[in-house]
Amino acid sequence: MQKKITVIPGDGIGTEVIEQALLVLDKIEKVYRHRFERQEAVAGGAALNATGVPLPAETLERCKASDAVLLGALGGPKWDSNPPGMKPENGLLGLRAGLGLYANLRPARIYPALANASTLKREVVEGVDLLIVRELTGGIYFGKPRGVSKEGEEEVGVNTEIYRTSEIRRIAKVGFEAARKRRRILTSVDKANVLEVSQLWRRVVTDVGKDFPDVELSHLYVDNCAMQLIANPKQFDVVVTSNLFGDILSDEAAMLTGSIGMLPSASLGGNIGIYEPVHGSAPDIAGKEIANPIATIASLAMMLKYSFGLQKESDAIEQAIVSVLEAGYRTADLKEEGKTTVGTKQMGELIIERVG
């Protein structure tokens, strides 16, 4: 197989974890005799530094001309005070919008070897295997009116949570279809007791559900879901929700696994998917060679599966991760007594050794 991948390392630990993922890709090429052509592109802080904008037109063009995008992380304190529209995050939002990616898939699976790494009790997290499907291009992150204006002596900040039937339908469908490939349980999360937009969300999801009678649908308020994710996370199979709620709940689900450094994601919808770790650029540990590269390597595994249909190769990476963890190797974020703490590069090498 021959494919073209655009690689956006980004900022902070983004560059460190991407380096390891690309070395894993080298090994996959060698063992399975594929050819993955790579082209680098800039976005976020790196793009602001190089070009003055968070998403240069050339980057979007490169992404559109490739088969998939692998991204590290964007952002950092250096650009925090940039004006709206000129922050690194605008690079990511622009990429998602430009590629028509409206669905973000975030699996949270507990690796057996890491059941003790969670802050929750082993019996609560053992066996957790859930998927959060987050709407990605609508809702309050894009809704208008937005902004901060003067009202007499006061300033007023406004953002708008807005969803159209078509947007809810298509993300609900992704949720139902994902559930069909798993345990056939779908939880739709909203705040329908307070928000009209959530009442519409609930009505439309219920309606889409008529085409999926084999999937068990239930609705949860977001506050209850936040609680249930901690109290009894095993009850969840697929969770479908809005952009804002999904952003928060997926980070909460991340912590079930022990570290945000373990969580991969896929953003789908158009022809070209973006694969990236759930975590950010972690400026507090950037340059220290201690970042966990597993989320990014697992994102690469998702790319091979979802964009290229390479199930065997994807499983080989997943299996290598399981094997390294079973052998007792941990990055600093998963530090555990009696286990061996390794750095970013060494974790990459240990995984590569076990691929194929």
The footprint of ligand NAD (CB under 6 A) covers: 13, 17, 73-76, 89, 92, 260-261, 276, 279-285, 291-292, 295, 333
Closest CA to 158 of 139, 176, 143: 143
Q: How far is the CB of 283 from ligand NAD (least distance, A)?
A: 6
Rounded Cα gap, residues 279 and 261, in angstroms = 6
| DSSP secondary structure string for all residues of 176-235 | HHHHHTTTSEEEEEE-TTT-HHHHHHHHHHHHHHTT-TTSEEEEEEHHHHHHHHHH-GGG
Q: How far is the CB of 10 from ligand NAD (least distance, A)?
A: 6
Residue closer to ligand NAD, measured from CB, 106 or 305: 106
The sign of the CA dihedral 104, 266, 14, 354 is positive
Contact between 317 and 301 under an 8 Å Cβ cutoff? The reply is yes
Rounded to 5 degrees, what are φ and ψ at 38?
-120, 140
Return the ∠ at Cα 161 (arms to 197 and 145), rounded to 5°.
Answer: 130
CA distances from 353 to 79, 111, 184, 316 (A): 38, 19, 36, 11
Q: How far is the CB of 230 from ligand NAD (least distance, A)?
A: 18
Residue closer to ligand NAD, measured from CB, 41 or 92: 92
Q: How far is the CB of 215 from ligand NAD (least distance, A)?
A: 29
Residue closer to ligand NAD, measured from CB, 198 or 299: 299
Q: How far is the CB of 329 from ligand NAD (least distance, A)?
A: 14
Residue closer to ligand NAD, measured from CB, 94 or 280: 280
Give the residue numbers annotated as catalytic, written as ranges. Answer: 141, 191, 223, 247, 251
Residue closer to ligand NAD, measured from CB, 283 or 356: 283
Contact between 148 and 154 under an 8 Å Cβ cutoff? The reply is no
| Structure-block tokens of residue 110 | 């507990």
